Structure 1
Amino acid sequence: MMMRKIQLPFTQTQKVRYERAIERLQSLSSTVNSDASVIVTDTIPVNHEDAFLKGHGTSEVDGELLATVCGVVERVDKLVYVRTLRARYKPEVGDIVVGRVIEVAQKRWRVELNFTQDGVLMLSSMNMPDGSQRRRTSVDELNMRNIFVEHDVVCAEVRSIQHDGSLQLHARSHKYGKLEKGQLLKVDPYLVKRSKHHFHYIESLGIDLIIGCNGFIWVGEHVEVRDPVMMIDGQKDDEMISSSSSTKEQSHTPLETRQNICRIGNAIRVLSNLGFTVTVQVITETVNLSNSKNVDIHEMLCSEFHVLVAENEAERRREKRKK
């Protein structure tokens, strides 16, 4: 976790409480990661009698292993490397990403991904609305705007990284595709840690949460995913059309759901402002804290709630360390 200085109109009391909470967090962090944080030219302690592999952010000079970047020392078996903090998004194949369509081109969509280059989603890499697995035709190309248009928010997976650094995406599963009835938030990519699960359903609130590895986070109304492949054989086209039209008629999002989306969104904004790692557990705890303290949605962005979140995180880490 990386704390940062924030510019908020603190009262003197709030300022003292916030600084005290940050000091507690830093002391707990330094105790757990003793000497793990390094800056450029710092010596990284290693046992030279045992074989080790120099990884990213390290260099051997005069028999000593030195750090060439600022960050945290990580060790995986014999590999020693420095994980940089506050770095840009570094894509890996298989990453779950959330992006915004910025162009509909020939047989492809260009997607903004909070990266140095835009992602490319080919028509051939897209799951067709009817779920059929077939060769894409010129008719499919003409109907591309029926799938995605500019400014649509989409979820996809990184398929490959090209030599020029551009990202090839694919969305060949029913869990990927267009995202609607929600809001898109942006956090620094280093606040999102890769995990086995980036799709979350907060059942108590009826909200879908997709934490993209690229720092884009989607908070939206829960959608029951229906895999077209699993549809009953023999379903008539007119039945499918009537079903889709009835879905469009029921496009109204309940007020309570919209309030939950805004509350979760503000919780993510507060965590981002404080520089805390964004996980579904921390987001849920922040939302529960706002409810327990009777904090209105718009008041979550005020100074007092930032202080409460910092104090709550310090207490949570202290209890975790005791266990």
Structure 2
Amino acid sequence: MRNLQLSLNQTQKIRLQTALEKLESLSSKSNSNSCVTVADSIPIYEDGILKGHGTSDRKGELVATVCGVVERINKLIYVRTLRSRYKPETGDIVIGRVIEVAPKRWKLEGLFAVERGWNRSFEELSNVYSGERKSAPGSTASPPMRRRTAVDELNMRSIFTENDLVCAEVRSSQNDGSLQLQARSQKYGKLEKGQLLMIDPYLVKRRKQHFHHLEQYGIDLILGCNGFVWVGEHVEARDTIVVNDSEQLAKKSGGTSMDLDEQVENHTPPETRQNICRIANAIRVLSALGFNVILEVITETVKLSNTMNLDIHEMLGSEFYVLVAEKEAERRSSLSKRKK
């Protein structure tokens, strides 16, 4: 709940404090044996353990040097901090903005919301899916990639240009602190018709699925591991993202009719825009309260606003923050009871 400034009346303050205390007690019960603060002793159950990050040997006793949760992997013991900077890992889904079209690559900036030492990355032309060849029908394998030519390099701006928002996957990290990205399938690429949100990266947990299609709202939701979240109109996967010269000339020669077609295609219905804003405000509320931003909690928050018939701007009011905190406390309490 850092940087949360709300004008709460006395009743709302009591309700919010009660909900947060309940959440804290549920969290402490579930992690009673693993939560530590600075200088706390970490129990050792076997010999030959390896001291990892956040631990130190003090007079033969293993103590914690940071606040967090004790994690054990075989004989390795380390402390995972609760609030930490984003550390890129291979396979992470991230979102960034193109600042330069360089030879055979695009340079992205502002990739990470907190870790400013990793705010430069690049995406090579050879690592971008072009869609020229398709996989066999019914196959889930990614389409094969062809070798890029000088013509592809000349047409790089037809794929991504300056100020474009791009969703990609972390391929590797470089010694200078930059990252190498890749977009080898149709689910990656340029993001349009939506909102970009910046939240603390530790609120986005690594999961098997970071791409979500909310069918009931017609919305695509991308939870970037770097703390960038995209909420936009649902877009069907396209066969190609590379436009050749002949197609560009055909569009230019189409005249006014082509322009009208493009305007119709780029139009976003008002209902979809409202859904985008409603889901974005739900994420803002969850982020301000310090709750994990996961699909289940987001949808429950949106349903709560619809049930109460709240306008989009009313979701950022003090009362709704309190209601969301109480709802999350009830959800976690029911989950803990089910486990028992």
In the superposition, the TM-score normalised over structure 2's length comes to: 0.85
Match of residue 44 from structure 2: 46
1:1-323, aligned counterparts within 5 Å? 3-4=1-2, 6-47=4-45, 49-112=46-109, 113-114=111-112, 115=115, 116=117, 117-128=119-130, 130=132, 133-228=145-240, 246=261, 249-323=264-338
| Uncovered stretches (5+) of structure 2, i.e. residues with no partner | 134-143
**Number of residue-to-residue matches in the alignment:** 312
1:250 counterpart SS class: helix
CA contact (8 A) 1:5 1:274 kept: no
Match for 1:164: what amino acid?
A: D
What is the distance in 2 between the residues matched to 1:14 and 1:4? 18
Deviations, residues 74-109 of structure 1 (Å, cap 9, x unaligned): 223433211112211100011111111122222211
The percentage of aligned residue pairs carrying the same residue is 65
What is the distance in 2 between the residues matched to 1:199 and 1:189? 16
Change (3 A) 1:12 1:5: farther
CA contact (8 A) 1:263 1:287 kept: yes
Q: CA deviation at 1:51?
A: 4.4
| Uncovered stretches (5+) of structure 1, i.e. residues with no partner | 230-235
Q: CA deviation at 1:228?
A: 4.2
Q: CA deviation at 1:50?
A: 4.6
2:322 counterpart SS class: helix
Match for 1:84: what amino acid?
A: T
1:93 counterpart SS class: coil
Q: CA deviation at 1:61?
A: 2.2
Match for 2:126: what amino acid?
A: S
What is the distance in 1 between the residues matched to 2:34 and 2:308? 36
Deviations, residues 210-268 of structure 1 (Å, cap 9, x unaligned): 10110101101111113449xxxxxx979x979x9856642111111100000000000
What is the distance in 2 between the residues matched to 1:285 and 1:77? 37
Match for 2:108: what amino acid?
A: V
What is the distance in 1 between the residues matched to 2:269 and 2:132? 29
What is the distance in 2 between the residues matched to 1:90 and 1:106? 28
Q: CA deviation at 1:192?
A: 0.6
Which stretch shifts more, 5-14 or 154-163?
5-14
Match for 2:172: what amino acid?
A: S
